[in-house]
Structure 1
Amino acid sequence: MTLIPLNLFVAHDGASKRQHITCVYRCGNACSKPVPNRSANAYFGDIARAVSRRTLLRAGGVTVLAVGAGSVLAACAGEQAPAPGTTAAPYAAPRAGMDFASVAPNTEDAVVVADGYRHAVVISWGDPILPDAPAFDVTRQTGAAQRGQFGFNNDFAGLLPIPGRRDRFLLVTNFEYVTPEFMFPGYDAAAPTREQFDVEIAAVGMGVVEVERTADGLRPVIDALNRRITADSPMLLTGPAAGSDLVRTDADPTGRTVAGTFANCAGGVTPWGTVLSGEENFQDYFGAAEGSPPPPPVQADQMARYGVSAEPTALRWETFDPRFDLTRTPNEPNRFGYIVELNPWDPQSTPVKHSALGRLKHEGATVYVTDDGTVVAYTGDDERFDYMYKFVSSKKMRDGTGPDAMAHNMTLLDEGTLYVAALSGDVPAAQIDGSGRLPDDGAFRGSGTWIPLLRSGADGQGESLVDNFTAAQVAVFTRMAADKVGATKMDRPEDFEANPATGKVYLALTNNTKRGTAGEPAADAANPRNENKNGQVLEITDDHAGTAFTWELLLVCGDPQAADTYYGGFDKTRVSPISCPDNLAFDSHGNLWISTDGNALDSNDGLFAVALEGPQRGEVRQFLTVPLGAETCGPVVTDDLVTVCVQHPGESDEHSLDNPQSRWPEGGTGTARPSVVAVWRDGGQIGV
């Protein structure tokens, strides 16, 4: 089958427009806390490169392959990119897929789309997706009702065509976190109720809902494949962590069955038809009562590396369920922070947590398949000064959609090798001063090596490739293993996406305002600005199944009029300004699409298309913006339809459900509700 894959500025991190309340509930206010990575890993300026970029490429035998192709594909033959650092040639017609008028930056409390396009809400928080689920009523919420309704703060979305059913799809979404002040009337943060806890447990996790294409967009359908996965749904833990002492609890003495998933951020659709979901900011769900005894020193260090602390949490889940109380269930946090794989075609299937891909704050995971069937999964650890990872399978993907092929392919992420990236720059250290000024040769570029951490085999067998770590320790304390081998500290590595035409891999680095501050790593060639508030996008030419790669910065985001920004060499007077890149997607024309989170340029977040080849390389056009206080997440881009998740609309420090900043999407006296939105053009394709 074919699969398609605010206004109130609170300077909690010094730059991003993300609100403080969002940080409290989404990431445990990580931006205002000390950086968890206190390792002494060198940054580029300290690294003496042993080989040149070209030598490394020759040694690694890099080949750029299309998914499932048997030969190398040349990207956009006949087009030549401008010399690094130069501006584009005189104005040319827009690239296919980008032929739309850019949306101007704005602060409207609405979804604003390019002229000539229509949009409509597909589904919102609280809409029923299971039979007998009640209609949403913000004043009469129950945990039982929420288990049959669309969850809160949808982030990733995958849109999977249903074979043999024209215009029918499965919409698979993550529900990342809850913000009680914007869910419950009269919420008292000092005294949450048991019913509110029950609603919250059911509002996070994942969801599967069938949708139908109509003349007015997509509409949900109550169907047998619909499903809710919550913070207490059974999960199977696989890989080297499974069964180890590090993950056993009184409730699960075997260490193989985990209750639930939460903090699910981005993800990916696999070529075999499953969905991957990244457990990201799991740390702030676990806590302890005020005055609880501190954990033993070794455990304290392990907890600190992941931002877990034995103090009361903002949600107070530890007061309702002992598994969230660190003094009673200290191993429970070790059972979160994994990549979850869901088979959406079987509502009775148990989701799998793949510990072979490591435990970290996974933004998501995306899969690239080489021409011989090797599966490569890329994932970023979304924290300031954390790392880029990839997993290379030792088994080959099987074609087909039958049960045997599915059963085999769902083991691909259990057997293989996990790597972390070390980068070096081709730019002389003297030309990297933290200002973002372009090097003399007009581009930030360099090379890198994937350092092996863990080799996983059948039945949970594992081999540590890091001295003084067991395989289970690498799987559970992956950050600490990566610290030891000297991985490169990056500016919040978020979503990866591989270009299906060229095989190049792209990574969104959202921002890092701690870069270059006292006691923190200084700027380097891949992270070229100190106090980086706008982020950048990295382009990687990878030997996918090997260990060598080269890299170049495609975008150094921010105000195009500022000297510290770079738009692939394109004329910056002709681009849409972009800030804080987050999630990535590709269209069928080879254009990269980027959604943003925390736009630091005084505008709502949005969705942007970027040209990658030819004289228009680096051209950025804004396709839509989302409402006040909202983030743009989980873009899906097809030839005739775009969907985005609108997360946390109206979430602002001076507002609440009782005093709303936004009433989108209902308007009037309605409640602001996270939603999925579809965009299309009657009788036409996107950007053509």
Structure 2
Amino acid sequence: MTTNCSPETSSAATARGPRLALPMLGHTRGSRSAQTCHFRCGDACLTENPSTSSAPAFEQLAQRAIARRSLLAGLGAAVVAGAALSPDEARAAGSGRGQGKGRGTRADAAVSAPGALAPAGALAGFAPVGPVAADVDDVVVPDGWDWHSIIAWGDPVERDAPAFDLDAQTPEAQAKQFGYNCDYLTVLPLGGSGKRALLVANHEYTNENIMYPGYVDDESLTVEQRMTSMAAHGMSVVEVRRDGPGSPWRAVPSRYGRRITASTTEFALTGPAAGSDLVRTSRDPEGTTVVGTLNNCAGGTTPWGTVLSGEENFQGYFRNTATPDERNAVYGISDTGRGWDLGDERFDLTKEPNEVNRFGWIVELNPYDPFSTPRKHTAMGRFRHEGATASVAPDGRVVCYMGDDTGGQHMYKFVSRDRVARNPRQGRDNDVLEHGDLYVARFAVEGDPTSDYDGTGEWVPLTRGGRSMVPGMTLEEVLVFTRVAAAAVGATPMDRPEDVERNPVTGKVYMACTNNSGRREPGAGNPRVRNRYGHIVEITEAEDQTSTTFTWALPVVCGDPSDPSTYFSGLPASEVMPIACPDNVAFDAHGGLWVSTDGQPGSLDLADALHHVATDGPERGKVRTFLTVPVGAETCGPVVDSVEGSVMVCVQHPGEVDGASIENQVSRFPYDGEVRVPRPGVVQAIKRR
């Protein structure tokens, strides 16, 4: 989940010393704070290198498509969907029956929300919340729902984990506790009672300025604090239990509890690039074993019960004072890193130039086996992965959809060589993702302007049958420098393609394109210049997941409905709610589309949220807001159970607001009254019975 910035506004670019300086204030033109740019993606705007593909940018295609649809739908006249609730109004709207001392806020009938046709199942008829102002420090849930915290940063994961102590953090303790800034989330059944499960979460990055007492700037961090941050990255496997279906989940340290970290966990490299000269280092001369995983963003859960995790902004972790491989230039490798080389010299590329090539992969973890070795799959390509979601095609091959979360980058698809059983056993390791064909998307506008679609497209092969399909590049080079390969075959540049998922009911594929506000003119993948709001792309493949052609449409072009550049499948502005910066997408058992956001505070001055978006029928394009998260936070990893009436989300980076510090915190999430800092974590909203 990269935040877009604009380099021309950064006066700090030339003032940076050999290590990271103070968080760069005033240099962003995107939808998030300067703190987000600094800690999450290492000020990537200063080194951003969009695709050099010669293909027309997606926005050029989308502009034409929207123009056609707008004429048909009479788009233009619009009214504001609703004014944002202030902090006082949001608190007054509910009875405070949530977590802690009345901190769970409900938006009741005081807010007039549009909509008649509600989502299905136990979620039918929920009263949409908000819009809620960006400075509300609460989790706002619908009337008739309550929320509670399941687990938060520092809580025990492994059985022998110590209690969290803000003033005595160590790498050893953090390696047994729930990590920082959780993103992707999944819940897998454990046993057949419905009372036990395994919760798996990614930990994307750390906010040192609101984590460590005594923080002044990045130079003030001790080596131990830097190594603690390393341990706070990665993934967590946590057992959760409940009294029965429909009741709240609670975390329980058990033999399944496991931390995957950036500092200690060994990963096996698999696939064609494993063992190549491009991934060998002095510590690993065979090029088959990697220590750690970095910047784990979104992910996916396989049909056989393993978890996929995307390594995204890996480029900001390495000190890079030597001349790098020019093919890595398109990844925006930073010059300073995060100072981790002070405690582990493999993060200094002058000493280990190939270490950076060992990150940027899709990771696979078997949470059912706490002693299993997680894997990094080179056959799926190396780029700044948002995540990967898997489905089984009719012929048994596994298909994974992936986005490269940077402005001007691309959408990918992996089709396995081998097949899996129709109903594979949960928790079974297999090698199906170690071999297969990698494709990148190319979009076009064709066809009847009055039809149900807005264009056509094709999946262009980068690898096929174990061979490179890119002239002048070997198979290993295509997989290690996938961005270079995609540009060479004319892939379509997109506006930050993030989460991509297939609807299990309709078979259509949905991609969240978050935004690209730094672009001044067409060419970076969206129907608008300076696109602060993003859009959702709907893809219908010709036959099944293995097809190489598709049609595409834009059901929602995001923003304030009063803005005539927005588009909600032709619905009038009075019938929809604001949405901006779509990030994660998920589906419930009824095929309902749920979209979490990352950037509404900066683009709409609204809290980030989880929205339901109708994709079919007369209300196609209708947006309903289900919940919002506290000040400074984004909504991540939604897990929606429309049968039982349960919604789980990760609350990432609460309190991440410019100027926040240990002494000046703007959030107290999750409001337990015991810790004086905000703690990212997982919450569950559950329907009151």
Using the size of structure 2 for normalisation, the TM-score is 0.84
Aligned counterpart, 1:588: 589
Q: Does 1:324 align with 2:347?
A: yes
In structure 2, which of residues 288, 307, 311 is the aligned counterpart of residue 275 of structure 1? 307
Question: For the structure 1 residues 148 and 293, does the alpha-carbon distance in structure 2 shift closer, same or farther, using more than 3 Å as the test?
Answer: closer
Listed as ranges, the matches of 1:10-25 within 5 Å are 12-16=27-31, 18-25=32-39
Go from structure 1 to structure 2 and tell me whether the alpha carbon gap of 1:258 and 1:658 turns closer, same or farther (over 3 Å shift). same
Map 1:476-625; keep pairs closer than 5 Å: 476-517=480-521, 521-522=522-523, 527-543=526-542, 544-599=545-600, 600-625=603-628
In 2, Cα distance between the equivalents of 1:557 and 1:45? 14
Identify the residue that residue 671 of structure 1 maps to in structure 2.
677
Task: Name which of structure 1's ranges 593-602 and 562-571 shifts more when overlaid on structure 2.
Answer: 562-571
Of residues 655, 661, 672 in structure 2, which corresponds to 1:650?
A: 655
Structure 2 CA distance for aligned equivalents of residues 44 and 578 of structure 1: 21
Letter aligned with residue 594 of structure 1: V
What percent identity do the matched residue pairs reach? 51
**SS at the partner of 1:539?**
strand
- Give 3-state SS (helix, strand or coil) of 2:172's partner: helix
Q: What's the counterpart of residue 349 of structure 1?
A: 372
Q: Is residue 626 of structure 1 aligned with residue 629 of structure 2?
A: yes
- Per the alignment, residue 423 of structure 1 pairs with 443
- Determine which of 175, 191, 194 is the counterpart of 2:203: 175
Match of 1:135 among 157, 160, 163: 163
Query: Could you say what secondary structure the match of 1:283 adopts?
Result: helix
Give the conservation status (yes or no) of the 8 Å contact 1:9–1:19. no
After TM superposition, list the pairs within 5 Å mapping 1:284-433 onto structure 2: 284-288=316-320, 292-295=321-324, 299=325, 301-309=326-334, 311-313=335-337, 315-400=338-423, 402=425, 406-407=428-429, 410-426=430-446
Cα distance in 2 for residues equivalent to 1:402 and 1:649: 37
Alpha-carbon shift at residue 426 of structure 1 (Å): 3.3
Answer yes or no: is 1:681 the counterpart of 2:683.
Answer: no
Secondary structure of 2:433 counterpart? helix
Q: CA deviation at 1:11?
A: 5.8
Contact 1:515 1:529 in 2 (8 A): no
The structure 1 residue matched to 2:153, chosen from 125, 142, 155, is 125
Q: For 1:85 and 1:494, locate their aligned partners in 2 and report how far apart those are by CA, in whole Å.
A: 30
2:212 to 162, 177, 184: 184
Q: Which residue does the alignment assign to 2:286? A: 254
Q: 1:611-643: per-residue Cα shift (whole Å, max 9, x none)?
A: 111111111100000000001000000122110
Does the aligned pair in 2 maintain the 1:453–1:464 contact within 8 Å?
yes
Matches of 2:44 and 2:447, distance apart in 1: 32
Structure-1 residue corresponding to 2:223 = 194
The answer to whether the Cα contact below 8 Å between 1:318 and 1:324 also exists between their aligned partners in 2 is: yes
Distance 1:306 1:256 in 2: 22
Aligned partner of 1:227 among 225, 234, 258: 258
Post-superposition offset of 1:442:
9.7
Match for residue 152 of structure 1 among 180, 188, 194: 180
Alpha-carbon shift at residue 399 of structure 1 (Å): 4.1
Distance 2:191 2:424 in 1: 10
Letter in 1 for 2:467: E
Matching residue within 461, 464, 470 for 1:455: 464
What secondary structure is seen at the aligned counterpart in 2 of 1:196?
Answer: helix
- Equivalent positions of 1:16-165 (< 5 A) are 16=31, 18-43=32-57, 92-96=116-120, 97-106=123-132, 107-165=135-193
User: Structure 2: which amino acid aligns with 1:527?
Assistant: N
- Change in Cα spacing, 1:45 to 1:558, as seen in structure 2 (3 Å) is closer
Tell me the C-alpha RMSD between the 2 structures: 2.5
Deviation at 1:417, TM superposition (A): 0.5
Q: How many residues align?
A: 608
Q: CA deviation at 1:601?
A: 0.5
Q: Is residue 98–residue 609 contact of structure 1 (8 Å, CA) maintained in 2?
A: no
Alignment partners' CA distance in 2, 1:351 and 1:293: 31
Q: Closer, same or farther in 2 for the Cα pair 1:305/1:522, shift >3 Å?
A: closer
Q: Distance in 2 between matches of 1:108 and 1:125?
A: 21
Relative distance call for 1:115 and 1:535 in structure 2 (3 A) is same
* Distance verdict in 2 for CA 1:682–1:671, change over 3 Å: same
Displacement after TM superposition at 1:656 (Å): 1.2
Alpha-carbon distance, 1:22 to partner: 1.2
- TM-score when scaled to structure 1? 0.84
Q: Secondary structure at 1:475's aligned position in 2? A: helix
Q: Tell me, yes or no, if the aligned pair for 1:265 and 1:364 is still in contact at 8 Å.
A: yes
Question: 1:166, CA displacement in angstroms?
Answer: 2.4
- Answer yes or no: is the 8 Å Cα contact 1:538–1:553 preserved in 2: yes
Residue 504 and residue 286 in structure 1: after superposition, are their counterparts in 2 closer, same or farther (change >3 A)?
A: same
Distance 2:54 2:224 in 1: 46
Residues 478-514 of structure 1: CA deviation (Å, up to 9, x unaligned): 0000010000000000001111111000000000123
Amino acid at match of 1:477: F
- Unaligned runs of at least 5 residues, structure 2: 1-22, 66-70, 79-113
Amino acid of the residue matched to residue 303 of structure 1?
N
1:240 and 2:272 correspond = yes
- Partner of 1:61 in structure 2? none
Distance 2:610 2:57 in 1: 32
Separation in structure 1 between the aligned mates of residue 505 and residue 686 of structure 2, nearest angstrom: 24
Q: Structure 1's 469 and 219: CA in aligned 2 closer, same or farther, altered over 3 A?
A: same
User: In the alignment, what sits opposite 2:16?
Assistant: none
Cα deviation digits, residues 254-282 of structure 1 (max 9, x gap)? 00000011100000011111000000000
